Amino acid sequence: MPGRHTVLAALLAVLTVALLAFTDPDVGLTWDEPAYMAAAESYVSWFALLFNRPATALRPAAIEQYWQINHEHPPLDKIWSGVVWLAARPLASDLTAHRLGNMILAGGTVAMLYLLVAGEAGQVAGLAAAGALLTMPRFFFHAHLSALDVPGAGGVLATLAAFWWTRDRRDVRADLWVGLAWGLAMGLKVNAIVAPIVLLLWTLLTRRRRYLFRRLAVMGALGGVIFVLSWPWLYDQFLPRLVEYVLFITVDHWEIGQYCLGRCYMPPPWYFGSMIVFAVAPLALSLAGIVGTAWSLRMRTARPFGVLLGLGVVIQLALPAIGGSMVYDNERLFMPVFPCIAALAGLGLAQLWHWAAEQVHRFIPRRGGVRRLASAIPTLFVAAPFVPHLVAATGLYPHLLSYYAASVGGLRGATRLGFETTYWCETYAAALPYLNAHAQPGATVWVEPWSHDVLLYYQAHGQLDPRLRISRLPEAPSFFLDAGLETADVTLDQADFVVLQYRQTRFEVYEIPAYLRGREPVYRLSRDGVPLLDIYAG
């Protein structure tokens, strides 16, 4: 019979998936999703070919045809999403069906976090950690998407958890479990490369056991094999394509700058990761995480667990800073940090609960209705830190990529400090009603270059008038040109309508300040008095 923690974890997973699915129609399509969705459909088509004609599927021409799409990233999440999409598309919209696989992974991540923390610090800490992760507005937003960031975070957490749960086992089977977890994590996203570093440092700092060093060696070897086997793109021309991938994630990545503190950087400054995580992690949860870190380091029995979580935060923020990585798109590439922060917050909030329970026991009479009423006080103490960021998120919803913590003064304060207002085109969904009502057939609509597929997707799925011509650079690929949609190579000044998201990273690149001079928008989406998206008529 499943234990109490297992039952609660399963319930958390189900509730998380249900909440994400219920709110999904409110969350606009984001920049990267069309590429991942097209890849998911192509990959599962290859598996259908493999099942029916395996010899044909394994030929270089077939691998080139089906696996070329989005080959710059590992495939495992897209394979999983494609399988779930096939099963869900008769029951849900195309976008929700494509996203559902990742919602399930997000539910599993929340459940795993609960099991990890509750197993070490009790049910209150586990529930607080799970609640902390799910209510982080930026994490909650990303948990909806057909993108790699939350699955990558779940893969890192799974690797750390597998190692932690087997730390006292000396058998080779435990080595294989950890290697399997890391191999699958690497197949989800390259962020998982940080896990062996975290685990090696933890072993050196807390437990220098020979079998643990063996485990790390087996983990690296087996994980590498699983990573390669999960990626048919590598089957043909293995070495050149592997080298191409390594170069892409190191020195050959596309150059995409980052706006922060009032200016655009390329690459971002070394401290950007720590700064953006501090700016978007809810302040009360960050403070609770500091309390949890201090408590775990002070308690001898809890210290190894606290060190593991602390390394999970520090190393994942430090590596890009040391390596001068081309980090961009705000917090999303640091998504694996958030489960570790949530776990530490759970430890801190549990200490708050225990302190409040002691005060109730000390000062409230043991008998009578007063004691029964007072028994709710510790729960209220734990719930109170969630109120500020939930209230703020409710006011911004569904545009949670514009959430900033009280540590930087919320969205208004972040705007004054020079943080990016939004990004990733999720606000484009708000432009659809205006364009459908006011743009004449054949009108041209300018959007930020290379983001055209967001509006083309809406056209292909009946949410935007297909007769409108979305701006697209001639060299920019699209996944929807075969849908009979017409695009236009137009500049800001030539377009009939300009849809402008307040992603300041690209303002100077496309001379947007000069275009805006003397113009007033015909439509504006704003929150807290800060514009997120404008539409201008040419």
Per-residue pLDDT of the chain (538 residues; tens, 9 = 90+): 468 899 999 999 999 999 999 999 999 999 999 999 999 999 999 999 999 999 999 999 999 999 999 999 999 999 999 999 999 999 999 999 999 999 999 999 999 999 999 999 999 999 999 999 999 999 999 999 999 999 999 999 999 999 999 999 999 999 999 999 999 999 999 999 999 999 999 999 999 999 999 999 999 999 999 999 999 999 989 999 999 898 887 777 777 788 999 998 887 888 999 999 999 999 999 999 999 999 999 998 999 999 999 999 999 999 877 866 666 689 999 999 999 999 999 999 999 999 988 887 777 766 656 656 667 888 898 999 999 999 999 999 999 999 999 999 999 999 999 999 999 999 999 999 999 999 999 999 999 999 999 999 999 999 999 999 999 999 999 999 888 899 999 999 999 999 999 999 989 889 999 999 999 999 999 999 999 999 999 8
Residue 334 shares a structural domain with residue 434: no
The CA distance from 28 to 397, in Å, is 11
Residue 402 lies in a domain: no
Instruction: Confirm if 352 and 382 have CB atoms less than 8 A apart.
Output: yes
Judge if 73 and 205 occupy the same domain.
yes
Range of the domain at 432: 426-537
Within a domain: 106 = yes
Q: Are residues 30 and 162 in the same domain?
A: yes
Buried b (16+ CB within 10 A) or exposed e, 231-242: bbbbebeeeebe
d(CA 266, CA 211): 43
Residues 292 and 192 in one domain: yes
54 & 196 share domain: yes
- CA atoms of 188 and 432, how far apart (whole Å): 33
Tokens at residue 247, please? 């170069």
139-163 burial string, b = 16+ CB within 10 Å, else e?
A: bbbbbbbbbbbbbbbbbbbbbbbbb
Number of domains present in the structure of the chain: 2
Residue 513 lies in a domain: yes
- Determine, yes or no, domain membership for 352: no
Please indicate, yes or no, whether residues 325 and 456 belong to a single structural domain of this protein.
no
How much is the pLDDT for 250? 76
Q: Which of 290, 314, 339 is the last residue of a domain?
A: 339
pLDDT recorded at residue 1? 44
Query: Does one domain contain both 51 and 177?
Result: yes
In a domain, 473, yes or no: yes
Residue 499 DSSP label: E
Residue 173 shares a structural domain with residue 30: yes
- Check: CB of residue 41 under 8 Å from CB of residue 82: yes
Q: Would residue 348 count as lying in a domain?
A: no
For the chain, what percentages of helix, strand and coil (3-state, to nearest 5) are there? Answer: 65, 5, 30
| Among candidate residues 295, 315, 339, the one where a domain is terminated | 339
Angle separating helix axes 337-363 and 303-323, nearest 10 degrees: 150
Query: Is the separation of the CB atoms in 492 and 510 below 8 Å?
Result: yes
Q: Is residue 361 part of a domain?
A: no
Alpha helices in 364-470 (DSSP H): 369-374, 377-383, 387-396, 410-417, 432-438, 452-460
The token duo for 122 is 């009790």
Helix/strand number for the chain, H first, E second: 24, 8
Coil, helix or strand for 61?
Answer: helix
Q: Pick from 321, 339, 357: which residue ends a domain?
A: 339
Contacts of 336 (CB under 8 A, 6+ apart): 152, 153, 156, 157, 191, 194, 312, 316
> Is 391 part of any domain?
no
